[in-house]
Each structure stands twice: as C-alpha cells, then as structure tokens.
Amino acid sequence: MASAHFTTPPPKGVIYAPMDVAVSIGKGLAKKGHQVTLYAPVGTEVEGIKIETCDLIPLKQKYGGETILKQMVSEEDNISKLQERVEHYWDEFLLANMFRAAEERLLDLLHIHPAARALALSLSHPDIPVVFTLHDPLSLWRAKIYEMFQSPNQHYVSISDNQRKPAPYLNYAATIYNGIDLSQFPFSKKPGGGFLWVGRMIPAKGPAEAIQATLQAEEKLTLIGPEADDSYWHQDIEPYFSENIKYIGHMPREKLFNYYQNAKALLVPINWEEPFGLVMIEAMSCGTPVIAFRRGSVPEIVIHGKTGFVVDTVSEMAD
C-alpha cells in the first residue's frame, strides 16, 4: 500500500506530539513493507521514509535576503497571528499536492493529522480515502465543524475513548492509543527519588498543582518544560523555586528518559480533558509510576494501583 502522511511541523523548542506520532507511524509502516511518503518542506529528513517537498522552502529559510515570516511582518502585524496565517498557506500547498497525487493513483491512502486543514479537500474528493488522527479535544465547536464536512471517505482515529464523547457520530475507524519508541525510554528497576513533572507551563497541564502536591508531601520536585513569561508563571510557578522545587527548562525528548528513570513518580495533575498524554506512557516505559488526576484519558492509560494512581485532588496526590 502506498500512503502519504502529513502534519504541521512545530517551531524549534515547542512540544508538539502530533509530529512525533506521525513520524513514528510512518517509520512503522515502512518497516512493514508499505510505501510511505511524508509531505514536508525542503530539508526534511526521516530515516526510511520518502520525503515529498514539492520544492516548498521552510518558513525559517531566507528568501531574497530574509525569511518569509520577517518579510511579511510590519509594525501593525501581530507576529503570532501572522505566523499561523502563513503556516496555513504552506500546509494547504502540501495538502493540495497530496490530493493531486492521490487523484493520479500514485497514493492509495492519505493520513492527515491537522484534520481541520484538509476537511474541505477531503469532502471535494469523495473517491480518495482519508484518515484523520484526532489529537485535540473534541470541543462542541470543533465537533460541529467535523460534522459539517463529514463524508463517507473520511475515517477518524481517536486517541482515547474519552476523546469521542462530544462527537460519537463521526465515522471512527478505531481508537488507537499513541505509542512511543521503547528504545528511547528504556526500563529501569532502580527506584527513583523525588517527583517529576513534564510539559508546557500552562494551567491546563497543572504545574502549579504539582508544586502544591509536592509541598504537602514534603518531597522534592523537578519541573521540565519551556519557560513561560506570563502572570501564571510569575505568580504560581516561579516564586516556589527552591532547593526542593527545581526548574531545569526545556529538555530534548531523547534526553528525558534519564529524568523519568530517576523519579519516584511522574505527577500529571491535568486541568482539562486531555485526549492522551505521551508523558504518562514515557514514564511507565521507564518503570516510573504515574500519579494523575481523573480527567480525559487518564483512567484508560493508568492502571490504578499497578502502573500508578488515579486521584481527584491535590491532597490525594500528595498522599
């Protein structure tokens, strides 16, 4: 089978699970003998996978003396909104070329991770099988959009059963939990010391709750993730840094295993219906139990009393 895969590449230093998942799926299919093509800008390299660039230059590459993004920025432009708008054009160009190749029967199946950017294309090409892996929560407004564009050639993969609840009517092919390369997160029998928290420094991920649980338990905590610069960071996170609460910044994924292996437990006090949490299976792969709030996919991933503990409050987490 010849399949094409697409996902939006993240900026440098940004945690973006869909990219890791898309590449892992592509590598796995290629090892099984399938012809896999990843559509991505010039310069992309993935071992064992054919890359189709369509001669598209990366946004960070200089063009006419300056990068595309900087050329489009003016004093009135909001850089974050502008970047998102420009990325849409880059994504849509690659997606259009994917569908053209499928029309010419060069591809049997298209697997797309940012579903919203290809809904119209898949609706207008009813003879092309398309698989969308859903990575975000299906909020009511997002579910309504998927319903509007739904067509028989679209097949959705949810990454947890909980994720489906707002939109049970979509054409689901299966629930397939995200996976990881176990060789990158080797198992260790050696007991660790102190708690660990990994993720983005935002309220939804619960770093403040992890800190409070650690303080109540009179334990130590290591926080890993990109630094923030907002009121949440300055009021609820940074003031608690001490000998026992340490922040070490962003860490490349390939170096995380050492921190997982040396932790007593990974704390996951999420404050949202997270469809899946890669950090949980990364920790468990390293032999580290997970203590997580009963939200989203947590009860499906953590086996209470065996691979960790599912709790409801900060106090329960501390206990």
Tell me: the pLDDT tens digits for 159-215? 999 999 999 999 999 999 999 889 999 999 988 899 999 999 999 999 999 999 999
Assess whether 211 and 314 both reside in one domain. yes
* 170 & 193 share domain: no
If pLDDT is split at 50, 70 and 90, which confidence band does 75 have? very low
Contact between residue 245 and residue 221 where contact means Cβ atoms under 8 Å apart: yes
Same-domain pairing of 97 and 219: no
pLDDT tier, 112 (very low <50, low <70, confident <90, very high otherwise):
very high
Instruction: Please report, rounded to a whole number, the percentage of residues in the chain having pLDDT higher than 70.
Output: 87
One domain for residues 77 and 139:
yes
Same domain for 171 and 187: no
- Domain residues for the domain of 186 are 182-318
pTM recorded for the entire structure: 0.87
Give the end of a domain, one of 175, 194, 215: 175
pLDDT at residue 80, as a whole number: 56
- What average pLDDT is seen over the chain? 89
**One domain, residues 158 and 188:** no
- In the prediction, which pLDDT does 240 show? 98
CATH of the domain at 27: 3.40.50
Query: Quick one: 139 and 202 in the same domain?
Result: no
> Do both 171 and 193 map to the same domain?
no
Count of structural domains, the chain? 2
Same domain, 53 and 125: yes
- Both 63 and 146 in one domain: the answer is yes
Domain boundary among 175, 191, 221: 175
Residues 171 and 187 in one domain: no
Query: What DSSP line would sit under the chain, residue for residue?
Result: -EEEEE-PPPPTT---HHHHHHHHHHHHHHHTT-EEEEE--TT---TTSEEE-TTPPPTTSEETTEEHHHHH--TT--HHHHHHHHHHHHHHHHHHHHHHHHHTTS-SEEEESSGGGGHHHHHH-TTS-EEEE--S---HHHHHHHHHH--TTEEEEESSTGGGTT-TTS-EEEE------GGGS----S---SEEEES-SSGGG-HHHHHHHHHHHT--EEEES----SHHIIIIIGGG-SSSEEE-----GGGTHHHHHT-SEEEE---S--S--HHHHHHHHTT--EEEES-TTHHHHS-BTTTEEEESSHHHHH-
Same domain, 200 and 168: no
Q: Which of 81, 72, 116 is nearest to 95 (CA)?
A: 116
- What digits encode the pLDDT tens for the residues 11-57? 554 556 777 888 888 888 999 999 999 998 888 888 889 999 999 88
